């Protein structure tokens, strides 16, 4: 919410080895309510502009809104990270026209209620089938396959058991032929496994990132960049 603080945090993360910086104007935590496109833009544009002026890092924008995709692109973003996988009206077309890279994430429900009672008959095949269908929708919209990444959406409408099944069987997503991104950092999965609050989950998060990479993940979304980069380098 404070552009200068966000810029400083981004520069710290780049110095610690981050290759992408993901900037979002809408919380997608469990229980969060949506933010209007105008409010998202009011929050993110000053940060994107300041960061673009200071670094050549790839700027990813965390949004589902076509209006935000277009404005973020004009301000210098190179990637769209969409937890709704471009299902919002006009989002596919805006992403295709932007020329940006896109991460398509799986989420069951919406952030407001997604953790109330997540349910799947078979979580891995259902998430995989959803992502396969969204990749096909991107192909139909003219988005080059080389611009896409997929993400099973850990914690987005999933219980601990669902998350563990996805992590164990992450290799099954590699057969879709698209680089795999994961976000496990500081999430409740790390908290439940270690019995620690969010600020004390670095060790658990790094362990989860390592397991994900050993199981085929190519892009790791992390808060604690330095220890994550060190662990992955080793």
Residue number with the smallest Cβ distance to ligand 9MG = 183
Q: Which of residues 182-201 bind ligand 9MG (CB under 6 A)?
A: 183
Among 181, 189, 213, 222, binds ligand 9MG (CB under 6 A): 181
187 is catalytic: yes
Cα separation of 21 and 8, whole Å? 12
Q: What is the 3-state secondary structure (H, E, C) of 78-114?
A: CEEEECCCCCCCCHHHHHHHHCCEEEEECCCCCCCCC
> Is residue 141 within 8 Å of 96, Cβ to Cβ?
yes
Cα separation of 45 and 75, whole Å? 7
- Residue 105 in the binding site for ligand 9MG (CB under 6 A): yes
Q: Which two tokens stand for residue 190?
A: 């790390």
- Residue 221 in the binding site for ligand 9MG (CB under 6 A): yes
Residues contacting ligand 9MG: total by CB under 6 A: 13
- Residue 61 in the binding site for ligand 9MG (CB under 6 A): no
Among 83, 189, 206, 208, binds ligand 9MG (CB under 6 A): 83
Residues 6+ apart with CB under 8 A from 42: 25
Among 21, 28, 65, 148, binds ligand 9MG (CB under 6 A): 28
- Residue 62 in the binding site for ligand 9MG (CB under 6 A): yes
Q: What is the DSSP letter of 34?
A: P
Q: Which residues bind ligand 9MG (CB under 6 A)?
A: 24, 28, 62, 81, 83, 103, 105, 151, 153-154, 181, 183, 221
């Amino acid at each position: 919410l404070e552009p200068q603080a966000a810029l400083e945090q981004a520069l710290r993360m780049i110095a610690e080895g981050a290759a992408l910086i993901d900037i979002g104007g809408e919380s997608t935590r469990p229980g969060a309510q949506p933010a209007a496109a105008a409010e998202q833009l009011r929050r993110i544009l000053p940060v994107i502009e300041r960061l673009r002026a200071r670094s050549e890092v790839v700027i990813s924008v965390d949004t589902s809104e076509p209006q935000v995709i277009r404005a973020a692109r004009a301000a210098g973003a190179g990637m769209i990270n969409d937890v709704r996988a471009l299902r919002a009206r006009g989002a596919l077309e805006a992403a295709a026209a932007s020329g940006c890279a896109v991460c398509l994430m799986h989420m069951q429900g919406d952030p407001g209620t997604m953790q109330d009672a997540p349910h799947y008959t078979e979580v891995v095949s259902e998430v995989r089938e959803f992502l396969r269908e969204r990749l096909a929708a991107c192909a139909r919209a003219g988005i080059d396959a080389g611009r896409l990444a997929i993400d099973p959406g850990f914690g987005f409408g999933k219980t601990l058991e669902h998350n563990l099944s996805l992590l164990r069987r992450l290799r099954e997503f590699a057969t879709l032929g698209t680089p795999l991104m994961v976000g496990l950092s500081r999430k409740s999965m790390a908290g439940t496994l270690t019995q620690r609050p969010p600020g004390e989950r670095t060790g658990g998060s790094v362990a989860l990132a390592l397991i994900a990479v050993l199981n085929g993940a190519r892009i790791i979304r992390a808060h604690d960049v330095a220890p994550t980069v060190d662990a992955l380098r080793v």
